[in-house]
Structures are given as structure tokens and as C-alpha cells.
């Protein structure tokens, strides 16, 4: 087989692997989109686009792009895979040709972006580059970004500022597309001929980060991801936990303590994302119809599971590597269950006060104890079952959505039926998780 044939074979097999792993997730996403397409369609169609603001938004997006690519440049605009880089560096292939191919391939997302953006804002006269002009503008920025990335460190900041100012000036002067095309072509030529000036050690390091992050993410290897994060943030070690170092607990409290410790080290952004998900879920639930209610419940669940399942996943991973936690399975579940259950109850109860249903919210808040317990159990289950969207988790998620929707609409008998349905799920999933915990089901 030829060189392109083998490279293509590797790529196709890699896509196949990703697809296999992500299929359940894609299926859930598809069902979610199908459910909401009917609801979201009229919402989008009936809304008037703020034409007056679009040029400003457009300019802001371009400025953001330029700032990210030129001024606050940290990573290169494109990456090689680690084996690709090794094979490229240690063999006498035509390095310029390979680099040119790589640069051209990196234009593909820019092409799609400029095409999509031009479709969206085609009718707005912004004076800023659009269509092909926008593509050449983005390509020029990417090329300049690559040249600056590999530039000598002497006066690099000054050069970055100068290039950024020139780009702003060209945008401000409403430079026609062909000028951007000339800049793009010139910078492309320089980029391709920079092969002997590439800062390989820095580039190899960043390619490694990109490659390993992807590998660890696809393998669900959170331990690996965390180790990689610490390795690359060596200059800035993680902030010390606010928890006192003298705390010493055993048994189920040790699991809870570990969970609190891990969560306390999450970046602030994780909590912002969770609150955003929560706000959107509440907004959906406020529509009161069955499908948005279900969607909102699932969104809430995903936010919660994302936040609380990581400590479980990490523990499971360490167990697979040889850690034997003291205490039985019940202690393990109890230790990891209490904190998310308490937090979940507060957030679920708050839904009824934020979006009143006409029924006494105190009753509904009290009844939220059951979905909160299920939600917490599911966060643990998501951490225990691999992959993240395993059948076990999806089944539990649907039961949760059903129960919470029934409580929200004050369908008490239906809620009781949903709760009863949860019992066989609890028994069977408990047994399965116990096997995983004890190492007999790994």
C-alpha cells in the first residue's frame, strides 16, 4: 500500500473507533434534537435578527479571532499527530511539501466558518470582509500566527502588537478581499518556507499536549488528562484546596472528603457551565410542556453528573490500577452519595420556587427528595459505568426525567409508578456496580 493509502487507513480506523465510542452519545443527541426541532423551529423563525447589532457582533468576532491568533497566541494554528511529527522529522521526505499540505488542510475549518458566517450575515452590509474575502482574511491571520509562533523570542511581543495593529487597521480601512488574498498568499509562502526555522521543541511539546489530550479524552482516561494538565501547568501548580490539610477521616467519610477535595479544585469555569446549564434547564421547564420538561430534566442531570461523576471515575480508574479502598461497597456508595444528593435536592427544590406551577411548591420541593436521590445515584453510576453514555446511565436518566416531570406537573400517582419502576433498576445496577467495585466485573 502507498504512503497516502496507509495514512488514510490509519485515519479511517481512527474515525471508526471514535464513532464506536461516541455512538450512544450521538444517538442521545439526535433524539434530543429531533424532540426539540419542532419546538425550536418556530422560535428561531419568528425572532427578528438584530440587524443593527450584527455589524458590531461581526467586528467583535473578527477582533476576537485576531486577538486570539496574534496577540494572545499560545498554541499553533495547526497540529501534527505525535507519530506524524516523528515520521515527518526523522525521514528525508519533502518537508516543505508536507508542511504546505498541513497548512492547506488547516484552512478547511476556516473555509467552512467563512462560508457559514457569510450565509448567516449575507444581507448585512458590514463593510468587513465577507465570503472569499473573509476566508482569505482568516487564512492570513492563521499564517501570520504560525510565523509568530515560530519567531525568535526577541521583541516577540512588539512584533505581535504591530501585526495585530496592522490587521485592525486593515479591517478598519475596509480592505478589499483581493488584498487579503495577497497577504494570505505571501504569508503562506513564508509559512511553508519556514520549515528550517520551526521551533521544534515548543511545537513538539504542544503537539504532544493536543494529541494526548484527545487520546485520553476518547479513552475516558480522566487520570491521564489530569496528569497531563498538571504536567503542562508546571509553572502554575494547582491552587491549594481551601480544606484544612489536617483533616483525617476514614471509612465512608474518606470518600466524601476525597470528593469534596477534587471538586474544590475544579476550575471556576466548570461551575459557571453548570449554572448555565441549570438556568437553561429551568427556562425549558418553565414552558410546562412534556418534551421541554423532559429535556430540561435531562440537561439538569447531565450538568450534575458532569460535576459529581469525575471523582467516581478517578477512583474507579485508580482501582483498575491496583488501589483497593478499605470498606465495602455500601460504604463507598454512601460516601459518594451524600454530597451530590444534598446539592441536588437544593437545586431541584429551587426549580419549583423559580418556576411556580400553581401547586403548593413546598409539597413539590419535599417530593424532590426522591429525584434528588436518584440524580445523585446516577452521578455515581455514570462514574462507575464506562463509557459515559452507557446503557445503564441512559436508562437511569430517562427514569429520572420521567419522575421529575411527573412531580413538576403534580401527577402524584404517575410519579409513584415511576419511583416503583426505579426499584428494579436500582437493584440490578447496584449489583453490577458492586461487581465492578469488587473487581469481579471489570
Partner 1 sequence: MSILQVKNLSKSFGTVQALKGVSFTVRSGTVVGLIGPNGAGKTTLLKCILGLVRYERGEIFLDGRPLAGRKELAAQISYIPEQPVYYEELTVEENLSLYAMLAGTPRREFAEKKAMLVKELDLAEHLKKLPDQLSKGNRQKMMIAMAFFKRFQMLLADEPFSGLDPVMIRRLKDLFLAVKEEEKTVLISTHLLDLAQTICDDYIFLDHGNILAAGNREEIRRAAGIPGKEGVSLEEAYLKLLGRSEGS
Which residues sit at the interface with partner 1, rule CB under 8 A?
A: 1-3, 6-7, 9-11, 13-14, 17, 81-83, 86-87, 89-95, 195-196, 199-201, 204
Exposed, middle or buried: residue 60 (CB in 10 Å: 0-12, 13-18, 19+)?
exposed
Closest CB to partner 1 among 9 and 435? Answer: 9
Evaluate the CA torsion angle 78, 84, 87, 92 in order and state its sign: negative
Q: Which three cell numbers stand for residue 193?
A: 518556507
Q: Which three cell numbers stand for residue 293?
A: 420538561
Closest CB to partner 1 among 89 and 147? Answer: 89
Tell me how far apart the alpha carbons of residues 390 and 25 are, in angstroms, rounded to a whole number. Answer: 9
Q: Which three cell numbers stand for residue 58?
A: 461581526
Tell me how far apart the alpha carbons of residues 190 and 143 are, in angstroms, rounded to a whole number. Answer: 8
Helix/strand/coil (H/E/C) assignment for every residue in 68-116: HHHHCCCCCCCCCCHHHHHHHHHCCCCHHHHHHHHHHHHHHHHHHHHHH
Tell me how far apart the alpha carbons of residues 79 and 106 are, in angstroms, rounded to a whole number. Answer: 9
Closest CB to partner 1 among 74 and 246? Answer: 74
Closest CB to partner 1 among 10 and 125? Answer: 10
Evaluate the CA torsion angle 136, 141, 142, 146 in order and state its sign: positive
- Concatenated DSSP letters for 405-432? HHHHTT-HHHHHHHHHHHHHHHHHHHHH
Tell me how far apart the alpha carbons of residues 360 and 350 are, in angstroms, rounded to a whole number. Answer: 13
- Min CB(86)–partner 1 separation in Å: 4
- Min CB(418)–partner 1 separation in Å: 43
Closest CB to partner 1 among 89 and 132? Answer: 89
Residue with cell 434530543: 32
Residue with cell 483525617: 248
DSSP state of 270: H
Nearest to 301 by CA among 381, 409, 213, 181: 381
Closest CB to partner 1 among 10 and 431? Answer: 10
Counting every residue written for the chain, the total comes to: 442
- Concatenated DSSP letters for 140-168? HHHHHHHHHHTS-STTHHHHHHHHHHHHH
Closest CB to partner 1 among 203 and 425? Answer: 203
- Concatenated DSSP letters for 200-269? HHHHHHHHHHHHHHHHHHHHT-HHHHHHHHHHHTTTSPPPPPSS-TT----THHHHHHHHHHHHHTS-HH
Closest CB to partner 1 among 81 and 294? Answer: 81
The backbone torsions φ and ψ at residue 198, rounded to the nearest 5 degrees and listed phi first, read: -70, 135
CA dihedral 75, 186, 152, 164 (to 10 degrees): -60
- Min CB(234)–partner 1 separation in Å: 10
Closest CB to partner 1 among 177 and 220? Answer: 220
Closest CB to partner 1 among 118 and 199? Answer: 199
- Min CB(203)–partner 1 separation in Å: 9
- Min CB(225)–partner 1 separation in Å: 18
Closest CB to partner 1 among 48 and 196? Answer: 196
Amino acid at each position: 500500500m502507498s504512503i497516502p493509502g496507509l495514512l488514510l487507513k490509519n485515519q479511517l480506523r481512527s474515525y471508526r473507533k471514535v464513532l464506536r465510542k461516541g455512538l450512544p452519545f450521538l444517538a442521545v443527541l439526535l433524539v434530543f434534537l429531533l424532540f426539540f426541532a419542532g419546538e425550536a423551529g418556530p422560535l428561531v423563525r419568528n425572532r427578528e435578527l438584530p440587524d443593527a447589532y450584527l455589524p458590531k457582533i461581526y467586528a467583535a468576532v473578527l477582533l476576537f479571532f485576531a486577538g486570539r491568533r496574534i496577540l494572545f497566541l499560545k498554541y499553533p494554528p495547526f497540529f501534527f499527530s505525535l507519530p506524524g511529527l516523528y515520521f515527518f522529522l526523522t525521514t528525508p521526505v519533502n518537508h516543505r511539501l508536507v508542511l504546505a499540505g498541513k497548512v492547506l488542510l488547516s484552512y478547511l475549518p476556516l473555509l467552512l466558518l467563512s462560508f457559514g458566517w457569510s450565509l448567516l450575515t449575507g444581507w448585512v452590509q458590514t463593510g468587513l470582509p465577507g465570503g472569499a474575502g473573509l476566508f482569505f482574511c482568516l487564512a492570513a491571520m492563521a499564517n501570520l500566527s504560525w510565523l509568530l509562533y515560530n519567531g525568535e523570542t526577541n521583541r516577540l511581543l512588539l512584533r505581535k502588537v504591530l501585526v495585530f495593529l496592522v490587521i485592525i487597521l486593515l479591517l478598519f480601512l475596509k480592505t478589499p478581499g483581493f488584498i487579503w488574498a495577497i497577504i494570505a498568499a505571501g504569508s503562506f509562502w513564508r509559512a511553508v518556507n519556514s520549515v528550517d526555522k520551526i521551533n521544534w521543541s515548543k511545537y513538539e511539546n504542544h503537539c504532544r499536549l493536543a494529541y494526548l489530550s484527545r487520546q485520553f479524552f476518547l479513552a475516558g482516561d480522566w487520570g491521564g488528562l489530569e496528569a497531563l494538565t498538571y504536567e503542562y501547568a508546571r509553572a502554575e501548580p494547582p491552587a491549594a484546596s481551601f480544606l484544612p490539610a489536617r483533616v483525617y477521616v476514614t471509612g465512608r467519610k474518606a470518600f466524601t472528603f476525597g470528593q469534596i477535595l477534587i471538586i474544590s479544585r475544579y476550575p471556576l469555569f466548570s461551575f459557571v457551565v453548570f449554572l448555565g446549564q441549570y438556568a437553561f434547564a429551568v427556562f425549558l421547564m418553565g414552558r410546562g410542556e412534556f418534551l421541554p420538561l423532559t429535556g430540561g430534566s435531562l440537561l439538569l442531570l447531565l450538568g450534575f453528573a458532569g460535576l459529581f461523576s469525575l471523582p467516581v471515575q478517578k477512583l474507579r480508574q485508580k482501582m483498575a490500577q491496583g488501589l483497593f479502598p478499605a470498606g465495602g461497597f455500601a460504604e463507598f456508595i454512601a460516601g459518594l452519595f451524600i454530597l451530590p444528593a444534598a446539592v441536588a435536592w437544593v437545586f431541584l427544590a429551587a426549580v419549583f420556587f423559580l418556576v411556580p406551577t400553581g401547586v403548593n411548591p413546598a409539597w413539590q420541593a419535599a417530593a424532590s427528595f426522591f429525584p434528588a436521590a436518584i440524580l445523585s445515584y446516577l452521578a455515581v453510576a455514570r462514574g462507575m459505568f464506562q463509557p459515559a453514555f452507557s446503557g445503564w446511565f441512559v436508562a437511569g436518566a430517562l427514569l429520572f426525567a420521567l419522575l421529575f416531570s411527573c412531580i413538576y406537573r403534580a401527577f402524584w400517582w404517575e410519579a409513584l409508578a415511576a419511583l416503583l419502576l426505579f426499584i428494579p433498576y436500582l437493584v440490578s445496577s447496584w449489583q453490577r456496580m458492586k461487581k465492578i467495585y469488587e473487581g469481579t466485573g471489570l
